[in-house]
Amino acid sequence: MNNLPNKIEELIKVISSLPGIGPKSAERIALYILSMSDSKVQKLVETIQNTKKDVHLCPICFNLTDKEICDICANPARDHSVICVVEEVRDLFAIEKSGYYNGVYHVLHGSIDPMNHISPEDLKIKELVERVAKGNIKEVIIATNPNFNGDITALYIKKLLKPYRIKITRIATGLPKGTEIDFADSVTLSMAIKERKEI
């Protein structure tokens, strides 16, 4: 970079390691932080630290929560017999924002990725099977991304859940191949769930 002091370059590097922030934005944010008052910077740091400390994974669905179990799992108005399986918490947020879905979730925290050596054991797949094995589940909707990793993850889960004789569906219709769930708009996402197909 343009002969900035090392400390500032370091800050820019850390900020640009965050998702969705390119070098130019990172530079702007770094310079903005440096222009902030000490108390505001402290508030920002404390908020990040406290959020990180208080937020953990829901032991049922692995969504993020600051309570014992997440608001969705704790909500009696949701349909607990339908589980929507997503790769990441941001996918859950996207589906929640679309407002159509009223079941519960299961967050895998990734997808099977042979290229990067991410295997089923690295994901919350075993926990999903345990949930289904407990009974009272009518349907599992697999909402992994419509790409290679998402598709092989869906097939793998389907194979594991087959013995439980529940309905297994896949959202795909309406989602163009390659569109990641968290980038799809609410209408497209609602349609993709509504028109899910049994697999």
Per CB under 5 A, residues contacting Zn ion are: 58, 60-61, 63, 70, 73
User: In whole angstroms, how close is the CB of 59 to Zn ion at the nearest point?
Assistant: 8
On the CB side of 37, how many CA atoms lie within 13 Å of its CA? 3
Lookup result for tokens 């399986």:
85
| CB nearer Zn ion, residue 63 or residue 153 | 63
**Tokens at 107, concatenated:** 């967050």
Q: Which residues contact 32 (CB under 8 A, 6 or more apart)?
A: none
Lookup result for tokens 């002969």:
3
Quote the CA–CA distance of 66 and 54 in Å, as a whole number.
5
User: In whole angstroms, how close is the CB of 137 to Zn ion at the nearest point?
Assistant: 14
User: In whole angstroms, how close is the CB of 55 to Zn ion at the nearest point?
Assistant: 13
User: In whole angstroms, how close is the CB of 96 to Zn ion at the nearest point?
Assistant: 12
Quote the CA–CA distance of 189 and 196 in Å, as a whole number.
11
| CB nearer Zn ion, residue 30 or residue 60 | 60
| CB nearer Zn ion, residue 57 or residue 152 | 57
User: In whole angstroms, how close is the CB of 167 to Zn ion at the nearest point?
Assistant: 21
Query: Cα dist. 16→5, 9, 10, 19, 151 in Å?
Result: 17, 10, 10, 8, 31
On the CB side of 67, how many CA atoms lie within 13 Å of its CA? 8
| CB nearer Zn ion, residue 58 or residue 83 | 58
| CB nearer Zn ion, residue 12 or residue 70 | 70
